[in-house]
Structure 1
Amino acid sequence: MTKISALIVDDEQPARERLTRLINPIQAIDLIGEADSADAALAMIAKHQPQLIFLDISMPSMSGIQLAETLRQQANTAKIIFTTAFDEYALDAFDVSASDYLLKPIRRERLLEAIKKVLPEPKEDAFIVIKDAKTTRKIALNDIIFLHADQKYTEVYLSHTSYLTSDSLKEFEQNFSGYFLRIHRSTLVNRNFLKGFEQHKSGMFVTLNDTDKTPEVSRRHQAEVRKFFSR
């Protein structure tokens, strides 16, 4: 998936630094810069045309709400996620078509939820092409149950068979994040096939539709899996 370019606008440096630390590991976001005022933001927006703006509300000279209204009058199509320490601005924020409204201190889980709202939906007809010495195969992403890294290759598991591709897990995650959820450094699973998870003494494992395989969930990713099933 193509990355979304993003700009942080906040008059407080510690707030900008914290949000930058939260955003940097998110592969779908290309953070192009920061602005410490609405005037500086307008100049950067005109120059770089970010697709997403993380916008503080309470700022001197021009508030985030006023800046959002200015952008709307300019027919700017950037998505806006407001960031603020105050909850009384929520109605005003959505009056200017905000995509989401995050209260400080911003939690990583809540930030990811907000970003998912602005990511483009994956195309239903998306597919990959796998080639070997004799055969070229076109495989729909909707048919892939999970992916597992195997040394230099990635195993692509379908309901009744599997194939090897030289495409890395990182490439799958970057290009098709709307399809796949990382559960281990070596495993991505198709969100649409996730059926449940099991907790054993040896660890956590996911159960999947259309296969009896139960890939392991690393300790690092267990919270994300639990959250997926708590929606």
Structure 2
Amino acid sequence: MKIKIAVCDDSIEITNQIEQLLSEFHSSLFDIDVFQSPERLLELIKETHYDFFILDIEMPEYTGIEIAKYIRQDTLYTPILFLTSFKEYMEDIFKLQAFDYILKPLTKERFFPVLEKVLLYLQYEEDFFTTTFKKKTYSIPYKEIIYFEKQKRNVLIYTLKHQYETVLSTNDLLDKLNDTFIQVHTSFIVNSRYIRELQNNSLFLSCGTKEIEIPISRKYGKQAKKQILIKLKGVM
């Protein structure tokens, strides 16, 4: 199955380069739609599913930031890669939960590692956290889980729309998770995809229109902060 990509940049030279690099990375893996006009992309988004967006930030009619805001109205999860010549957009990029950004000029050395991460991410999108509680079995997409909260023997699972409960030891819970999840406290394991900000001993998670504050304990602080900073650098 091909990965459908939307590429939007007002420079034909840049879009040609992106197509060439995508072909070089894997000649038959991607189905690419190229747009020099942001308006045309905004029209097609309404009727076409894309797995991945590559957006230039500086364009005449609409900025890549404005296009991403439109995309995020429909989905919080589709990865977005920004191309930019300036670092001044970092705060906006972070707020939009972008997958990554690349400073121009675009090179194979910068682009290919991002593509590898995207492939892993899209594969992970199909994974589910499966658990049973009171004779009911739940399969929750990992991508929808914001954080886990441990309350004695019970584990509360928070998603954007629902809250679930199960019984698991912390070790058994961690065995079910990959490195997208970070334990920051005896009682809390967070999905790094929702991290908005790290501030002293508090972590702020972006949950749609809400923001949730999670404490970072002294026991897990040093290692957790190291992991968080690595994740944030991967986004920013």
State the TM-score, normalizing by the size of structure 2.
Answer: 0.47
Q: Which structure has more helix as a fraction of its residues? A: 2
Bigger Rg over Cα: 1
State the TM-score, normalizing by the size of structure 1.
Answer: 0.48
